[in-house]
Amino acid sequence: MATLIDGKRISQEIKDELKEKVSALKEQGKEIGMAVIQVGNDPASTVYVGNKKKACAYIGIRSESYELPEETTEEELIELIEKLNQDDRIHGILVQLPVPKHINEDKVIKAISPNKDVDGFHPQSVGALSIGQKGFVSCTPAGIIQLLKRSNIEIEGKECVVIGRSNIVGKPMALLLLRENGTVTVTHSKTKNLKEVCKRADILVVAIGKPKMIDASYVKEGAVVIDVGIHRNENNKLCGDVDFESVEPIASAITPVPGGVGPMTIAMLMNNCVEAALM
């Protein structure tokens, strides 16, 4: 039976540490501010934005909310970002993705100052990560490293297999595991013999976006399995990319869905915002 990696508890621990830091900064007269921008009213985005604002309030970060109409132009959005780039009271800028189709996401990401890029999506942040320089790291993979470290799971020298190569999860995950001295393999939809490759893993990170695709036949006995996926099944219950019931008996440790990777993303966003204020 696997140990459950408790993302709810670990994310709470991180938020409480940040709360203390923020309160100490307040005593020195420094207030931290984050701008949260949402264009349109996609219901899922509204939930994510609400959770981010709630986390800011808990930690003591002042959040400034910009709810822009669906028909906002790319120019208007970029103009707002540029204004916020210049605003000393704002340390982090978050644009909730996806933006409506008429707005070029890449241009929006590039418009955010790398010093306020708390999502870690700016090409400069990604470049810094790949050459081992300081910069903001995408929150979900950064959260996974925290889950591993705070669960005393050694990464150095381990065979790490990442399924998925997206810019926000798979690729930065691979770079972070490499930075921690793991031996890293990245797999994707064109990978041949996926099962055999996955079976080599001491640490298997699954970010495919396919409900319950990874069952025990992909997992080595005793492996650590991190499930990034989030889906709602036909009974409206949350599940991941990993078939938990099948994998849990053979893994040594595993993240549940919900309560695994999910809560870590917001905790790391808050961490990035505090780091931004300390720069």
Return the active site residues.
52, 96, 119
DSSP letter string, 194-212: HHHHHHT-SEEEE----TT
Binding mask 215-254 for ligand NDP (x = CB under 6 A): -------------xxx----------x-------------
SS (H, E, C) 30-70: CCCEEEEEEECCCHHHHHHHHHHHHHHHHHCCEEEEEEECC
Q: Is 170 in the site for ligand NDP (CB under 6 A)?
A: yes
Q: How far is the CB of 169 from ligand NDP (least distance, A)?
A: 4
Total of chain residues touching ligand NDP, rule CB under 6 A: 25
Pairing of strands 203-206, 183-187: unpaired
Pairing of strands 203-206, 231-232: unpaired
Pick between residue 125 and residue 265 the one whose CB is nearest to ligand NDP: 265
Near ligand NDP by CB under 6 A: residue from 108, 163, 177, 276: 163
What is the SS3 assignment for 3? strand
Among 53, 107, 165, 200, binds ligand NDP (CB under 6 A): 165
Closest CA to 22 of 64, 63, 51, 50: 63
- 10 Å CB burial of residue 46 (0-12, 13-18, 19+) is middle
At 201, list the tokens.
């893993």
The reply to whether 141 sits near ligand NDP by the rule CB under 6 A is: no
CB of 100 vs ligand NDP, minimal distance in Å: 19
Among 188, 195, 232, 237, binds ligand NDP (CB under 6 A): 188
In sequence order, what are the beta bridge partners of 4?
Answer: 254
140 binds ligand NDP (CB under 6 A): yes
Shorter beta-carbon distance to ligand NDP: residue 92 or 229: 229
189 counts as binding ligand NDP under rule CB under 6 A: yes
Q: In this chain, which of 169, 225, 270, 277 binds ligand NDP, going by CB under 6 A?
A: 169
When asked if residue 259 is in the footprint of ligand NDP (CB under 6 A), the reply is: no
Residue whose beta carbon is closest to ligand NDP: 166
DSSP-assigned letter for residue 250: T
Question: Footprint of ligand NDP on residues 33-52 (CB under 6 A)?
Answer: none
